[in-house]
Amino acid sequence: MHFDWSTLFHIEWTVPFLLAALNIVFINIILSGDNAVLIAMAVRGLNKEQRQKGIIFGTAAAVLLRIVLTFFVAMLLGVPYLKLVGGALILWIATQLFLGSEDEESGEQVTTLAKAIRIIIIADLTMSLDNVLGVAGAAGGNMFLLLFGLGVSIPIVIFTSNLISTLMDKYPIIIVLGAAILGRVGGEMMITDPAVEKMLHPSMAMEYGVQIACAVGVVVVGKLIAKMKNSHEISEEGAIPQTEEVK
């Protein structure tokens, strides 16, 4: 994918140019929702001040990485198994974040700013291939439009992340929905990997089936692991008095 650096400071106030800019804004609004859900879940265990910092720093760092990623996106999308591995990573991260919400009392949530930002960067970078491709395609090789598109995603993601994070505090069901959304994203990445498509030739029904299975799977696996951990902790607590009585 080629971009003309001479267009970086060349702004044309023409109808096609303005339509391209407007198209990029709409693409960001549509595609940034998954990223906002990820960030909201990652910072949920932080206090109010750190949560805001996590959203801002995590979003800014992720966007900077997207700028770098843009110049390699065409090549990366063709690499076999890259999206498969990336999708599996998203499923693991989604399960861990959901497990943290299930284990609030045992302190398993992401409670440090550095850890939250690290999770945001790794997962957002993995999820951003399609986002970057959409913005780059709409920019049509214009460097200004490309950077404008990536820049405008910052306030969109920050606002949406704050909103979702606040709603998660009030309505825990949104945490379940957030985990399911991330699971769907992971499933979509895995089933649309070039190598997987070449082997399976998945139909539309199979693609949706995998996405639904991964969405449900993240929630079910997270709840099962949390239940097993709680049962283990309860059994350990019950064993302490018995040991003392024997003595």
Q: What is the DSSP string of 55-115?
A: HHHHHHHHHHHHHHHHTTHHHHTTSTTHHHHHHHHHHHHHHHHHHHHHTTTTT-S--SHHH
* Tokens, residue 211: 């996405």
In a domain, 98, yes or no: yes
Measured distance CA(69)–CA(82) in Å, rounded: 14
At 246 the pLDDT is: 46
In a domain, 150, yes or no: yes
Could you list the residue range(s) of the whole structural domain that residue 188 is in?
Answer: 5-230
| Number of domains within the chain | 1
Residue 112 and residue 197 in contact, taking contact as beta carbons nearer than 8 Å: no
In a domain, 214, yes or no: yes
In a domain, 78, yes or no: yes
At 144 the pLDDT is: 79
pLDDT band at 118 (very low <50, low <70, confident <90, very high): confident
In a domain, 240, yes or no: no
Q: What is the reported pTM? A: 0.76
φ, ψ for residue 11, nearest 5 deg: -105, 125
What mean pLDDT, rounded, does the chain reach?
Answer: 80
In a domain, 90, yes or no: yes
pLDDT in tens, 167-183: 988 888 998 999 999 99
pLDDT band at 207 (very low <50, low <70, confident <90, very high): very high
* Tokens, residue 93: 């991260």
| 125 has pLDDT over 50 | yes
Helix axes 48-70, 129-139, angle to 10 degrees: 60
In a domain, 243, yes or no: no
pLDDT band at 104 (very low <50, low <70, confident <90, very high): low
| 94 has pLDDT over 60 | yes
In a domain, 144, yes or no: yes
